[in-house]
């Protein structure tokens, strides 16, 4: 005799019949969970994790079998589950054994066995099925379903609980094929009054045990309380134990599964971020081989910087292979220069250039194949060239998280834009999830299963060789390639995770990028913060915070503002334009057509840089002006801003003069002693000279009245400066 049968029987009255139901007190011992899983998918691993969290006893049926039971979107299907369950029940002889049968790929437990059995006992029936709002697969059977005073009326076959003898009886006449409908089979039993009474079946009408999401999305919310998170049905004010993302609600179960059971709470934060890791630190053997796919599909700013950051990734280059797809002729010199200096450092490189006329979708598949076909390749790291990889440990971090598909969260400064979507609209486009803003702003930090990822991701080669082996992953009659790809990844049961545990970088804005200049990145001052990192001196911030500023002459201030790259690009841009003035007094470029103290120069408006230059002055010169000249406030207006060229055989110096400005900014663009000899600026009133201008440093001084000055002779080489007459 089973110990369970020795418990004091609890007799209850039922509308159908008086049924004896033993009171269950030792939940783990007498409850067995049966499920079917022919493949170990991400959804199945999620199910097992939730079961382990609550100490459920699980028996998995069908492992190693080929699935022949159809799919969730089209009937019939599911008969294979019935066959496997019927066979498994034959081995269970304990008549008081309680069996929970649930799907696994789209199911999570929200509470433990004790609560489940208590609620089952309170249902006062021997078999309890989950209930649904919608009838499926045969709507013609709607009128045959018993009416209920309150709650859901229709049976759901994705979850039921009952005593083994009753379940055996329910399955005794099953002889269907694996492809037949389990839902229809159980529905016909339920709507048959005699069978319903004989087996003693009821539905969990108010979702106390089971919550099916299809047709009930508006009813379900997350409930955070006392360090715990679970689902709450707000329509019936119940806390279901089992959550089932049945039918087309996989995205919603994925969303809930980011939290339930206790994967993320306000008290603990992320509880799974350190689970099942693949540590690389202290690795004795060699690092895994990674193919990095680099995709250049449109004109993009700061491509040179992209390759610099690629070089700085903290990962052994002899374990990296590069696949570079470049569709833009404009970027050929950038790619060529990178490979000329660094190709030999990598394990291998494959380049597809614009002359090969390969479309972007095909290029993605070729990149995948480079990894698939290499037996040593363990990961494919896909990176679009507009990604700014600021975190040098990004690749290591993603590998260590050990997910089949994972991406680092990338942002655009000042915006809520990221490289992932938290939800999808009904037609498969962007929708904002309830937690999206908190994730983007860092109020919720963790690992997030999301429906869409773009620009950058890491996927395991094993996934590319199995679930994601189809050649049409990016193809769709209605969706863009990136959306089609994510849709097919989801439909293959592969979870796409995004992590915001660390700060990884951002994505550039490419909308207004033009390619009609030599150094087009100079024009990005409005668009991308990368401009500041590329062109503003690393010590500029110290000027305002720490007073990192010198006073070589009275009321003359000297401070760093430009990087060497900025100086080089400005010189090269002007020489590329080439239309230097003649240095005469007649100058049709200025109002009145006469220049009293002419120089050989090119004005910013000649190269279309006046708006960008005013932005520079406003952001970087004006704050220093207001700091050093208290009480004066500037809007950084200017009539003249220009690059001057001094050469011994052209114009070596400039005679004493006042500037037509309230204050003047004079920035040295090249280096005395290296690029030229001589030069400098002398303030006559103070008999004070700055004889060794530093490249990238700005001299700021009053323009009128007090600071009469001259340009000292350049005796060798070529000297370049950029001058701005501010607030004329």
The residues annotated with a catalytic role in the active site are: 719
Q: What is the DSSP letter of 182?
A: H
Residue 235 corresponds to which tokens in the numbers above? 């329509």
Residue 81's CB: how many other CB atoms inside 10 A?
Answer: 22
67 three-state secondary structure: coil
The DSSP H or E segment spanning 461 is helix 461-465
Name which of 696, 715, 701 is nearest 657 in CA terms.
701
Give the contacts of 110 (CB within 8 A, at least 6 positions apart).
50, 211, 230, 231, 239, 240, 241, 242, 243, 260, 261
Q: What is the dihedral of CA 194, 200, 206, 208, to 10 degrees?
A: -160
Question: C-alpha angle 75/490/229, rounded to 5°?
Answer: 95
DSSP result, 567-582: HHHHHHHHHHH-----
Question: Can you read off the two tokens belonging to residue 89?
Answer: 């029940």
Q: Which of 535, 723, 514, 724 is nearest to 608 (CA)?
A: 514
Q: Are 131 and 61 in contact (CB under 8 A)?
A: no
Is 527 in contact with 509 (CB distance < 8 Å)? Answer: yes
Other Cβ atoms closer than 10 A to 594 = 12
Q: How many CA atoms lie within 13 A of 260 on its CB side?
A: 30
- The answer to whether the beta carbons of residues 437 and 417 sit under 8 Å apart is no
**What sign for the dihedral angle of Cα 46, 52, 56, 59?**
positive
In sequence order, which residues have a C-beta less than 8 Å from that of residue 441 and are 6 or more positions away? none
HSE, side-chain direction, 13 A CA sphere, residue 418: 27
Cα–Cα separations (whole angstroms), residue 478 to 43, 61, 428, 483, 723:
27, 38, 10, 10, 54
Cα dihedral 333, 334, 335, 341, rounded to 10, equals 100
Using CA of residue 660, residue 666, residue 672, residue 675, what is the dihedral sign?
Answer: negative
By 3-state DSSP, what share of the chain in percent is helix, strand and coil, each rounded to 5?
30, 30, 45
Contacts of 38 (CB under 8 A, 6+ apart): 62, 63, 64, 65, 66, 67
CA atoms of 222 and 490, how far apart (whole Å) = 23
Q: Where are the beta strands (DSSP E) in 385-522?
A: 387-389, 405-408, 420-421, 423-424, 430-431, 447-450, 452-453, 456-460, 496-499, 505-507
């Amino acid at each position: 005799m089973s110990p369970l049968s020795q418990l004091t029987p609890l007799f209850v009255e039922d509308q159908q019949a008086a049924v004896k139901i033993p009171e269950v007190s030792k939940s783990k011992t007498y409850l067995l969970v049966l499920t079917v899983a022919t493949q170990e998918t991400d959804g199945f691993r999620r199910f097992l994790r939730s079961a382990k969290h609550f100490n459920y006893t699980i028996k998995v049926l069908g492992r190693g079998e080929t699935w022949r039971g159809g799919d969730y979107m089209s009937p019939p299907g599911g008969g294979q589950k019935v066959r496997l369950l019927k066979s498994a029940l034959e081995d269970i002889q304990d008549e008081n054994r309680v069996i929970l049968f649930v799907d696994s790929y789209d199911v999570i437990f929200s509470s433990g066995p004790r609560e489940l059995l208590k609620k089952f006992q309170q249902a006062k029936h021997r078999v309890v099925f989950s209930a649904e709002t919608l009838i499926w697969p045969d709507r013609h059977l709607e009128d045959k379903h018993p009416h209920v005073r309150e709650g859901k009326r229709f049976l759901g076959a994705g979850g039921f609980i009952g005593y083994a003898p009753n379940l055996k009886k329910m399955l005794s006449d099953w002889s269907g094929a694996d492809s037949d409908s389990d839902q229809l089979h159980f529905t016909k039993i339920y709507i048959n009054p005699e069978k319903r009474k004989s087996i003693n079946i009821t539905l969990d009408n108010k979702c106390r045990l089971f919550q099916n999401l299809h047709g009930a999305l508006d009813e379900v919310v997350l409930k955070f309380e006392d360090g715990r998170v679970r689902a709450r049905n707000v329509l019936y004010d119940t806390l279901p134990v089992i959550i089932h993302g049945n039918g087309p609600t996989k995205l919603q179960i994925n969303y809930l599964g980011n939290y339930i059971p206790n994967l993320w709470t306000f008290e603990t934060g992320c509880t799974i971020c350190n689970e099942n890791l693949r540590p690389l630190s202290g690795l004795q053997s060699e690092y895994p081989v990674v193919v990095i796919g680099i995709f250049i599909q449109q004109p993009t700013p700061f491509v040179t910087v992209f390759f610099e950051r690629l070089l700085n990734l903290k990962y052994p280059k002899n374990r990296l292979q590069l696949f570079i797809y470049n569709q833009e002729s404009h970027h050929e010199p950038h790619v060529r220069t990178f490979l000329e200096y660094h190709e030999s450092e990598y394990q291998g490189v494959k380049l597809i250039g614009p002359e090969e006329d390969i479309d972007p979708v095909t290029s993605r598949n070729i990149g995948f194949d480079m990894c698939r076909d290499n037996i040593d390749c363990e990961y494919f790291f896909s990176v679009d060239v507009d990604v700014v990889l600021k975190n040098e440990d990004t690749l290591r971090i993603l590998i260590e998280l050990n997910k089949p598909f994972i991406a680092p969260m990338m942002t655009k400064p000042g915006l809520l834009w990221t490289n992932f979507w938290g939800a999808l609209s009904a037609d498969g486009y962007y929708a904002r999830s309830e937690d999206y803003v908190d994730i983007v702003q860092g109020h919720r930090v963790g690992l997030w299963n999301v429906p869409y990822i773009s620009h950058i991701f890491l996927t395991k080669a094993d996934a590319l060789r199995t679930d994601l082996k189809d050649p049409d992953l990016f193809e769709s009659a209605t969706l863009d390639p990136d959306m089609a790809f994510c849709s097919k990844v989801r439909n293959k049961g592969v979870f796409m995770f995004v992590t915001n545990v660390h700060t990884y970088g951002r994505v550039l804005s490419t909308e207004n990028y033009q390619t009609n200049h030599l150094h087009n990145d100079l024009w990005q001052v409005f668009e991308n913060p990368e401009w500041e990192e590329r062109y503003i001196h690393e010590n500029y911030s110290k000027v305002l915070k720490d007073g990192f500023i010198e006073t070589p002459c009275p009321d003359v201030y000297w401070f760093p503002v430009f990087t060497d790259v900025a100086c080089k690009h400005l010189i090269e841009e002007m020489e590329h334009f080439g239309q230097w003035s003649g240095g005469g007094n007649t100058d049709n470029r200025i109002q009145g057509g006469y220049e009293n103290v002419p120089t050989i120069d090119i004005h910013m408006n000649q190269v279309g840089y006046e708006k960008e230059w005013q932005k520079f002055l406003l952001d970087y010169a004006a704050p220093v002006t207001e700091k050093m000249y208290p009480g004066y406030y500037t809007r950084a207006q200017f009539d003249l801003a220009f690059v001057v060229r001094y050469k011994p055989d052209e114009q070596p110096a400039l005679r004493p003069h006042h500037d037509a400005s309230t204050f003047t900014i004079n920035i040295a663009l090249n280096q005395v002693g290296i690029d030229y000899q001589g030069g400098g600026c002398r303030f006559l009133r103070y008999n004070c000279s700055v004889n060794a201008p530093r490249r990238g440093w700005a001299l700021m001084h009053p323009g009128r009245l007090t600071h009469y000055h001259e340009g000292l002779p350049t005796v060798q080489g070529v000297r370049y400066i950029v001058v701005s007459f501010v607030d004329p």
